[in-house]
Amino acid sequence: MEQVLVVDDEPRIVEIVRAYLEREGFGVLTAADGTTGLEMARRERPDLVVLDLMLPGLSGWEVCRTLRGEGGPPIIMLTARDDVTDKIVGLELGADDYVTKPFNARELAARVRAVLRRARGEQARPRAIAVGDLTVDPERHEVRRAGQIIALTPTEFAILETLASQPGRAFSRLQLLERAQGEAYEGYERAIDSHVKNLRQKIEPDPRHPRYVLTLFGVGYKMADRR
């Protein structure tokens, strides 16, 4: 049974999320503050964390940043703050999705399943794709540059895999979001820019002058042609 850790200081929210996720077949762990949530994530190693932004002790920002830096599980931010800037900051810190309160429990469960599917790499994968000295291996869910493994979040990997599957093809931001986040995602299209920025920091020799993930102004992004 897959385990989801819910970190939120509102008991009513926690019980709603717990009840619905348990009904969907997930095991649910809970924490009411950031410090406890971080400790539980490290100790229990859940498959996914649903993380509130405004928490006692460590904030959701800090917990997210720490877990991502440690290579922790996928994270869905759950918060009452619906500002686009907050969403982008959360995604830049490594969150895989962002849900605002009030939320639909069914939608949240759908997003949990979608993020877990990406993390597991369930879909049929083609063979490894090489662009220059960058290799994307969907079967192993692995990215290498010059032979060195590069750690990506599930969302970053999904974006890179989509682009690498058809080098030279232009993808709009919405297309990339749909491929990376699934049909349940209804977020702000420009959020993809945050993921691409993080991706470039990891795979590009010089992120300011990208050679792999190229911007098409007014359109979206594409992968450089194989060479």
Average pLDDT over residues 143-161: 90
Tell whether the model's pLDDT for residue 123 goes beyond 60: no
Contact 75, 51 (CB under 8 A): yes
Same fold, 3-120 and 129-223: no
User: Domain-by-domain residue ranges, the chain?
Assistant: 3-120, 129-223
Average pLDDT over residues 200-206: 94
CA distances from 115 to 32, 71, 146, 163 (A): 23, 16, 29, 19
What pLDDT band is residue 85 in, cutting at 50, 70 and 90?
low
40: left (phi over 0), alpha (psi -120 to 50) or beta: alpha
Tell whether the model's pLDDT for residue 75 goes beyond 90: yes
**CATH value of 3-120 in 3.40.190.10, 3.30.70.260, 3.40.50.280, 3.40.50.2300:** 3.40.50.2300
For the full predicted model, state whether its pTM sits above 0.95: no
pLDDT tens-place string over residues 128-140 = 888 888 999 887 7
- At the top level of CATH, which class does the domain 129-223 belong to? mainly alpha
- 87-91 CB contacts, 8 Å cutoff, 24+ apart: 87/187, 87/188, 87/191, 88/188, 88/190, 88/191, 88/193, 88/194, 89/61, 90/53, 90/60, 90/61, 90/64, 91/155, 91/191, 91/194, 91/195, 91/198
In this structure, what DSSP letter does residue 225 have? P
pLDDT tens-place string over residues 5-17 = 999 999 998 998 9
